[in-house]
Amino acid sequence: MAASPSPARAAHHRRVLPRGRRVLDEHMPVHHKLSRVYRLGSALVGVILTFFGVLGLTDNIGFFDTGGDQVGGLSTNGALSVLSVVVGLLLFAGMVRGGNFASSLNITFGGLFLLSGFVNLALLETSFNMLAFELQNVLFSFVVGLLLLVFGMYGRVGSALPHDNPYWQQRHVDEVARARREHDRNEQRTRARLRGEELRRRASLFGSGEDGGAADDGDEGDGLDADGDGGQQGDR
């Protein structure tokens, strides 16, 4: 009956998927350096937006007041404050989950902030400026968007990613599978070589013991012969 593979080995092989079904592990280890970067980006921007939104809500500004009010040097109203708190909490959720989810969330919100900056730039000084944007809000939206994109794309986009990078492995499944097969073959050769050396060492130890025993038997035989000869001479 064939032995079932260990859970660790089974999990190792589950990561190698055929072409067309390349799925990146959603849950990177907590200590993974990429996951730490994504968490940091989500937490940093989430704190800023939540703080900005809470301060705006405490001022009791009108929900769609286009005149707005100043909070931290930025114009805001009730709608923008609520939106800021919601986005900040979503980024906190990305910080908690980490991994590929946090990266994708940062990229998504980064693109939305950039889009918001361009849209609200066009709506300045119009009656459609429902979020009470001013020029400083547009610049802030651009800065936050770029910051989220940098954090979200770190280690994910580039032409010189290291081969232990999970995103590089996702895009080069065939090479990863070939490297793992070669690694397994090398491990098998190493184990076989170590096993052969151990068997030769044991054989040499047992062989030395047998030679020593044979030598002792020969010495005892010579002693008996000598005694026998002495006895015969005494009889004579």
Rounded average pLDDT over 186-209: 82
Region 43-61: mean pLDDT is 88
Which of 109, 93, 101 is CA-nearest to residue 26? 101
| CA distances for 92 relative to 26, 47, 167, 176, angstroms | 17, 8, 23, 33
194-220 average pLDDT score: 68
User: How far is the CA of 229 from the CAs of 102, 220, 223, in angstroms?
Assistant: 97, 14, 10
Confidence at residue 169, expressed as pLDDT on a 0 to 100 scale: 60
Which tops the pLDDT comparison, 71 or 181? Answer: 71
Rounded average pLDDT over 171-198: 77
Asked if the model's pLDDT at residue 157 lies above 60, the reply is: yes
Model pLDDT, residue 25: 47
Q: In the predicted model, what is the mean pLDDT of residues 198-221?
A: 64
**Per-domain boundaries in the chain:** 25-170, 172-222
Q: Residue 15 has what pLDDT?
A: 43
- Weakest mean pLDDT among 15-24, 75-84, 188-197: 15-24
Close Cβ partners of 190 (under 8 Å, ≥ 6 residues apart): none
